[in-house]
Structure 1
Amino acid sequence: MIEAELLSKRYGSKTAVDGVTFTVQSGKVTGFLGPNGAGKSTTMRMIVGLDRPTAGRVTVNGRPYVESRAPLREVGVLLDAKAVHTGRSAYNHLLAMGATHGIGAARVREVIELTGLQSVARKRVGGFSLGMGQRLGIAAALLGDPQTLILDEPVNGLDPEGVRWVRTLVRSLAAEGRTVLLSSHLMSEMAQTADHIIVLGRGRIIADAPVGDIVGGASQLTVRVRTPHASELTALLALPEVRVTSVEQGLLDVSGISAADIGDRAARAGIALHELTPVTRSLEEAYMSLTEDDVEYRTQSMLETQDLPSQGVAR
């Protein structure tokens, strides 16, 4: 279990993390989300003692990480897959890490096989692709068979098979009762992998709940209605709290009213309905809704850039 209490980090006048309190529970995959600059990486670095908090505290299994006598056996960490001596082979890199904790060649071979690195294990890491580098970083995190895993963007650079492998791996580890904290910008993958979500925005927690609650809580009730009498139904539903949007001919999206109420009103008016389906928003849509006011680095649309002065704007 990872517990943060009023955790803060400032760099001069810049507040990267602002008094966050959360718990990452054992037996679940917890997704750690937020826009660029939200404070995710800084928080992960504080968890494992790479950055010292300005205020507050964070513990792993009841004590600060820096007090761990055998860190590799307690916490497996992937923060930067490129932080490897490029002249070493994958095998020698893992063997050197294991030597610091009395972990021998047998375990090194196990994690190499587990992460699919057998064919490149004796090759220099400097020649690895991005995906192979990620697999090596995951192998290093698993080396001590730890109870807690902290993985920052582990699927970055992986092909679809690799992404599915990571999903299966972290869910199986959580099923064994381990603590898994996982960050990613792939919302579709996080929706399939995580049980619980913590969302940061500008250094503060803006959501901390199960995935279903995140999606449901951010969703406005929307019903997809198909009817040959779309104009008549639109007029019938002209209520202050109801919004009707035409998707295509004969197909409407209606929000602010339940499917049952739409059906009852249409039946009383003699309007035939061919479809009446509640629409569930995706995790990505819920995430975008949650973080729309907390994006620090916002891109501009092509229309917006057309209004900028020509100086300094690539054409």
Structure 2
Amino acid sequence: MIEAHNLTKTYGAKTAVNDVSFTVRPGAVTGFLGPNGAGKSTTMRMIVGLDRPTAGWVTVNGRLYREHTSPLSEVGALLDAKAVHAGRSAENHLLALAATHGIPQSRVKEMIELTGLQSVARKRVGGFSLGMGQRLGIAAALLGDPQTLLLDEPINGLDPEGIRWVRALVRNLAAEGRAVLLSSHLMSEMALTADHLIVLGKGRVIADAPIAEIIGGATQSGVRVRSPQASVLATALTAPGITVTHVEHDLLTVSGLTAGAIGDVAARDGIALHELTPVTASLEEAYLQLTNDDVEYRTGAPVMDLEVSR
């Protein structure tokens, strides 16, 4: 379990993390989201003692990280897949970590097999691809069989098979009763993996709730309506506060009315319906609505008329 209490971190005049409190509970995957510059990485670094809070504190399994006599056995962290001596082999990197905690060599072999690194275990890490480096980072995080895990962008650089493997891995770890804090910018993957979300914006917690609650609280896109009499139905639905958009000749998107109300209008006027589907917000839409006012680095509109020299 991770418990953060009023965490604050400043760098001169810059406040990277501002009075952040949250709990990452066992038995669940907690997604950690936020725009670039929101304070996610700084918070994760404070959890494992790499940055000292300006104010507040954070404990892992009831203690400050530095108070654990065997930290690898308490919390496994993947914060930077490149933070490995490039001249070492993957196997030697894991053996060195194991030696610091009295972890048997058999556990190193298990982690190499679990992460699919058997064929490159004795190759130098400096020649690894990003995806292979991520697998090694996950192996290191799991080496001490910890009850708490911090994984910062673990699927970055992985192929589809690797992404699916990480998803299943973290779900299984949570099912075993471990606490998992997972950071990712891939909303579609987070929607499939996380049970709970903590969202930061400009250093503050702007959401801390189950993922279904966050998605359910977002503005819905409307109702998808398919009918061979779409134009007639569109006219029947015309009223203040209702927006009807023609998507195809027989397909409408209606906002401002529930699916039931649309069905009642169609039944009243004898209009056939072939589809009546509420369109709920995706996690990406919910996230963008939440963080709309908290994006620190906002890009401009894309320029579409660039000349390309040949």
* 2:285 counterpart of 1:280: no
| Alpha-carbon distance in 2 for matches of 1:199, 1:269 | 46
Q: After alignment, is 23-32 or 294-303 more displaced?
A: 294-303
* 2:48 counterpart of 1:48: yes
Tell me the amino acid that sits aligned with residue 211 of structure 1.
I
TM-score, structure 2 length as denominator? 0.95
Superposition CA RMSD, Å: 1.7
Q: After alignment, is 108-117 or 264-273 more displaced?
A: 264-273
| Alpha-carbon distance in 1 for matches of 2:17, 2:56 | 11
1:4 aligns with 4
1:142 aligns with 142
Tell me the amino acid that sits aligned with residue 226 of structure 1.
R
* 2:260 counterpart of 1:260: yes
Residue by residue over 1:59-82, the C-alpha shift from the partner in whole angstroms, topping out at 9 and shown as x without a partner, is 111121111111000000000010
2:78 aligns with 78
The structural deviation recorded for 1:271 is 2.4
| Alpha-carbon distance in 1 for matches of 2:76, 2:175 | 17
- Asked if the contact 1:223–1:279 (Cα under 8 Å) also holds between the matched residues in 2, the reply is yes
* 2:175 counterpart of 1:172: no
Aligned residues: 307
2:13 aligns with 13
- Asked if the contact 1:221–1:258 (Cα under 8 Å) also holds between the matched residues in 2, the reply is no
* 2:225 counterpart of 1:225: yes
TM-score, structure 1 length as denominator? 0.93
| Alpha-carbon distance in 2 for matches of 1:223, 1:305 | 35
Q: After alignment, is 279-288 or 160-169 more displaced?
A: 279-288
1:205 aligns with 205
The structural deviation recorded for 1:153 is 0.4
| Alpha-carbon distance in 1 for matches of 2:80, 2:142 | 15
The structural deviation recorded for 1:214 is 1.2
* 2:127 counterpart of 1:127: yes
Tell me the amino acid that sits aligned with residue 91 of structure 1.
E
| Alpha-carbon distance in 2 for matches of 1:70, 1:62 | 14
Any stretches of 5+ residues in structure 1 without a counterpart?
307-315
Residue by residue over 1:276-307, the C-alpha shift from the partner in whole angstroms, topping out at 9 and shown as x without a partner, is 1111222112112211221111222235998x
Any stretches of 5+ residues in structure 2 without a counterpart?
none
- Asked if the contact 1:215–1:281 (Cα under 8 Å) also holds between the matched residues in 2, the reply is yes
- Asked if the contact 2:221–2:281 (Cα under 8 Å) also holds between the matched residues in 1, the reply is no
1:58 aligns with 58
Indicate the SS of the match to 2:155: coil
Percent of matched pairs sharing the same residue: 75
Indicate the SS of the match to 1:218: coil
Indicate the SS of the match to 1:99: helix
